[in-house]
Structures are given as structure tokens and as C-alpha cells.
Amino acid sequence: MYTCGIDVGSVSTEAVILDGKDNKILSYAISPTGSSSKNAAKNAFEDTLNKAKLKSRDIKAIIATGYGRINIPFADKNITEISCHARGAISLFPDLKTVIDIGGQDSKVIKLENGSPIDFLMNDKCAAGTGRFLEVMAKAMEIDLEHFAPIFIKTDGKVDITSTCTVFAESEIVSLIGQGVDKDKIIKGLIYSIANRITSMVERIGLEEPVCMTGGVAKNLGVVKALEENLGVKIKIPDEPQITGALGAAYLSQNIG
């Protein structure tokens, strides 16, 4: 029995096909969402089918999740990213107590008990503390986002970024660069500004170990390190953190019908 989970995020769309026989991931795909969540979901789904050498009729059930979950006509059901990320993370680390997910548009902290979500918090209605914030800043600094982590690790000292608003933070760093402030210290400050926002969310909900981090930003080891430092814990990272929501959706699809 094969099931599929599709996570339609604001920046990227992920699809995962799961083999129910041994709960192995048969294939997955990650693609940019672009302007149409419907097309993005369709493309990601077809991509995973091709990689797994399956036809759509081979898939027993599909669950859509993420902000674009409502508009996927071929999905059997839609479930929020809260339930899907929790399920995906638990499948990878069964004893988890806390999941931190930082995606393109939102960030969330999910508290788990006996493998099920019992509480969660999400960021308020702005891009601060999300992947989008980092993307905008990387663009403003003309530095590839993938360079942020090595810079974070090698740099001593940071410059605090005081603006919460992404647009104002962008102006702030442009102005700092203009003043000749070391770019590496600005990058370190940016990473801490995200980590500090997430830390306060984790503290509000109550930190409990083990902690796992999912979502695209979990690939940025600078953010992971800053969070580990703030929280004083070691954070588990899945091999492919970006597909955790889709993976959870594929697991939850097993309960359909």
C-alpha cells in the first residue's frame, strides 16, 4: 500500500510517497511553489511518482498539508501542518517531546506527549522568525544563504539587528553595511534575531527534550547552533528536514479509508 503526502508551503512544495509495507520512503520531491499551489502540488506529485516508478492509481490515499492544502483537488483530505509535522517528526524520532519547524512563511513549535501533539504555537502575522526573513536579508547582502552557516561558525561577536519588521531590518542592514560594519557580524546578528524569536516561542510553550527541528531553515546549521546555544539543548535534525510535513501527511494517509 502506497500513500502520498504533499506539503504546499509558501516557498516550496514537497511530496513524499511512503510504502506502507515497511514504512520506507519510496521517493520524494521538492520544488518551488511559485504562483499556483495547485500546479506546484501536481508537479511535485508527478515527480515523486516518476521517481518511484508508480502511477497515480497505485497510490491509495493522498493528504495535502501546508498553507496551500485547501486547493489540491486530487487530495483525499487536508490536514494542518501542525499534525503533519508532528507525525513526520515522530516517525523519525519516536521519543520526541518538542518539534521546532521553521518554514518559508511561518514558524511553529509543537509540544508532544506520547507521540501526539498536545499544544503548539505559531509565529504572529509577520515574516520575522521565518525562512523568508533570512532569504530577504541574504539577497540584500548579496551573499548566498548557504554561506550563512560557515560565517556564523567562524565569526566572533555579532551586531544586534533591532528591527523586527523584515522590511525595516533590510534597511537596517543596508545602513550598517554603509557604515562599514563587518558583514559577517551582521549575518551572525541576523541568525540570532531568528533564533531569539523561536527561543521565546519554545519557552512560552515549555521546553522539553528531546527536541527536533524541521523545515527548510533546519538546513541552516547557523540557526540550529544559535538555537542550541539559546536553549541549552542538542537539537535533532532529520536527514531531509524539509520533507517532514509531507512525510507526516503520507503517514496520516494510511488511516484513510
Q: Interface residues with another protein (CB under 8 A)? A: 67, 79-83, 106, 116-120, 122, 124-125, 204
Nearer to another protein, 1 or 126 (CB): 126
d(CA 6, CA 65): 6
**46/119 with CB nearer another protein:** 119
150 vs 206, beta carbon nearer another protein: 206
CB of 110 to another protein, least distance (A): 9
Grid coordinates given for 108: 511553529
We find the least distance from the C-beta atom of residue 82 to another protein, in angstroms, to be: 3
**Shortest Å distance, C-beta 248 to another protein:** 12
Q: Residues 47, 52, 55, 60: is their CA dihedral positive or negative?
A: negative
Measured from the CB of residue 80, what is the shortest distance to another protein in angstroms?
4
CB of 107: closest distance to another protein in angstroms?
12
117/215 with CB nearer another protein: 117
What would the DSSP string read from start to end of 115-160?
Answer: TEEEEEEE--SSSTTSHHHHHHHHHHHT--GGGHHHHHHH------
Nearest to 166 by CA among 121, 135, 199: 135
**How would DSSP label each residue in 192-212?**
HHHHHHHHHHHHHH---SSEE
Closer to another protein at the Cβ: 83 or 242? 83
